[in-house]
């Protein structure tokens, strides 16, 4: 028999003993992740996604990342993200939503400091991270007595493990072109539902049209107008899932005055019409299949 003893005391990770709260856990297989979850943002929670299999293309905070099995993606509160699977490698994932996270020196519901990469390769901890997600998911779905408390402590373990990984991999980005690309992206994110032309954006930001397009594509992986389109459709996806507004009302809310054109763009990007998307989501996430989880919080692919 070999005994391993705790060798030293530890300083609590969470500020003032305040513990994070697990909102939901999601296990999405390839038939879910094949539907793109277009640009969207959550102001009230942090999300963590673990890629179990396959590869994806994720845009997080305006930067595009080619992701793969074993990667952990961290979406700080207020950070816009866009998710789509690599068609040549079907993707399955675990993900969870978290609130009430407060770490010293950072705003609420943020696990990453500014400048840190939101994509971590779990490396030697890959199996541990997947096991923690699996146990949280099993506990929440089981509805057994004590499941919520067990999941609460499993979440704490997951967050502490990721913090150690983050501290080893932080890389600040100081490149002037990256900073400029971020400036353009922030402007578009604040005004995506308004009527824009490339000329009006370049004039407002006092950047030449050709340079603006070049820098933005280098930074985000998208042309400016393509980014605006995906940002609008991503918001429409969230509204279709989380509200009772009609498709026509939602079209107007995200910047499309012509509902037929909105339907065309939505279908082109998502692969189905807005009405079919709403119905498909409701059918896939009926209470009969997922219990004890807030149905308004779960979407196909972390939307």
Non-local (6+) Cβ contacts of 194 within 8 A are 255
Same domain for 143 and 226, yes or no, is no
| Minimum mean pLDDT range among 42-46, 191-195, 258-262, 284-288 | 284-288
Mean pLDDT of the chain: 84
As for how many domains the chain has, the answer is 2
- Separation of alpha carbons 262 and 157, rounded Å: 43
CA 112, CA 46: separation in Å to the nearest integer?
Answer: 10
pLDDT of residue 298: 34
Count the residues in the chain: 303
The verdict on 153 and 202 lying in the same domain is no
Between 136 and 11, the higher pLDDT residue: 136
Full domain range(s) for residue 249: 176-283
Q: Please give the residue that has the higher pLDDT: either 294 or 127.
A: 127
Sign of CA dihedral 43, 219, 266, 293: negative
The domain boundary residue, chosen from 169, 193, 222:
169
Cα dihedral sign for 72, 280, 273, 201? Answer: negative
Is residue 29 predicted with pLDDT exceeding 60? yes
At 17 the pLDDT is 65
CB contact at 8 A, 98 and 45: yes
Is the predicted pLDDT of residue 180 greater than 60, yes or no? Answer: yes
Could you tell me which of 193, 197, 119, 106 has the C-alpha nearest to residue 162? 119
Whether residue 303 is contained in a domain is answered as no
Q: Within this chain, do residues 222 and 184 fall inside the same structural domain, yes or no?
A: yes
Residue 297 domain-assigned (yes or no): no
pLDDT at residue 171 above 90? no
Q: Within 13 A of 207's CA, how many CA atoms are on the CB side? A: 17
Report the predicted TM-score, pTM, of the whole model to 2 decimal places: 0.70
283: CB partners within 8 A, 6+ apart? none
Q: What is the pLDDT of residue 172?
A: 44
Last residue of a domain, one of 169, 185, 211: 169
Task: Give pLDDT, residue 277.
Answer: 92
Same domain, 263 and 143: no
- pLDDT tens-digit readout, 96-115: 999 999 888 888 999 988 77
- State whether 195 and 136 are in the same domain: no
Whether 234 has a pLDDT exceeding 90, the answer reads: yes
Residues 161 and 92 in one domain: yes
CA torsion 137-140-143-149 (nearest 10°) is 130
The pLDDT tens digits for 259-298 are 999 999 999 999 999 999 998 887 766 544 333 333 333 3
Q: Domain holding 144: CATH number?
A: 2.60.120.280
In this structure, the answer to whether residues 184 and 138 fall within a common structural domain is no
């Amino acid at each position: 028999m070999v005994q391993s003893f705790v060798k030293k005391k530890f300083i609590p990770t969470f500020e003032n003993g305040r513990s994070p709260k697990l909102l939901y856990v999601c296990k999405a297989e390839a038939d879910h992740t094949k539907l793109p979850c277009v640009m969207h943002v959550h102001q009230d929670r942090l999300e963590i996604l673990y890629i179990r299999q396959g590869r994806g293309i994720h845009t997080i905070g305006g930067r595009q990342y080619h992701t793969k099995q074993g990667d952990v993606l961290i979406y700080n509160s207020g950070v816009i993200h866009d998710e789509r699977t690599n068609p040549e490698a079907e993707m399955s994932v675990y993900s969870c939503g978290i609130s009430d996270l407060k770490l010293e020196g950072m705003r609420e519901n943020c696990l990453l400091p500014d400048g840190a990469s939101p994509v971590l390769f779990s490396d030697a901890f890959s199996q541990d991270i997947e096991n923690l997600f699996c146990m949280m998911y099993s506990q929440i779905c089981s509805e057994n007595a004590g499941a919520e408390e067990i999941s609460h402590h499993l979440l704490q373990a997951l967050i502490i493990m990721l913090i150690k990984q983050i501290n080893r991999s932080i890389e600040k980005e100081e490149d002037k072109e990256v900073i400029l690309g971020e400036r353009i992206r922030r402007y578009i994110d604040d005004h995506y539902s308004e009527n824009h032309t490339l000329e009006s954006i370049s004039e407002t930001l006092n950047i030449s049209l050709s340079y603006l397009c070049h820098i933005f594509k280098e930074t985000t992986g998208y042309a400016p107008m393509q980014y605006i389109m995906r940002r609008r459709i991503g918001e429409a996806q969230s509204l279709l899932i989380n509200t009772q507004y009609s498709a026509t009302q939602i079209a107007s809310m995200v910047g499309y005055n012509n509902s037929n054109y909105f339907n065309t763009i939505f279908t082109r990007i998502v692969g189905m019409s807005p009405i079919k998307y709403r119905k498909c989501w409701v059918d896939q996430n009926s209470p009969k299949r997922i219990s004890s989880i807030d149905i308004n919080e779960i979407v196909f692919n972390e939307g």
